[in-house]
Amino acid sequence: MKLKFLNNTLQNRQFDYQPRYYDERKERMEKRKEQLRRAESGEMTPEERKQMLREAMRAESDRAGYRQGQRQSSNIRIFTLVLVLLALFYFLFFGIDKVET
């Protein structure tokens, strides 16, 4: 009687995995280049022109929202800094006498 489990050597499993990479920015750039090429050559239909304009307006509104958020966070940072400086000056000019006594 042959014991199979004693003679069996373990082998690693082989996988055929190929990672995929999707670059959304690159896809948008290629699509935009193709649209501009078609617009310059006059091959674009009015419906495609409308779609191109919609995409441009959507992209601009996304950038505007980002800029507005950055501006708001900057304003909050400046306001906080001004409050800290005002508190520091108040403490230096009016609070020094109370600390010494």
Query: Could you tell me which residue, 39 or 99, shows the higher pLDDT?
Result: 39
- CB distance 39 to 52 below 8 Å: yes
d(CA 61, CA 65): 6
pLDDT at 73: 92
Rounded to a whole number, what is the distance in angstroms from the first to the last CA of the chain? 100
pLDDT at 66 over 60: yes
pLDDT at 5 over 80: no
- pLDDT-based confidence at 79, cuts 50/70/90? very high
Mean pLDDT of 24-31: 89
91 CB neighbour count, 10 Å cutoff: 12
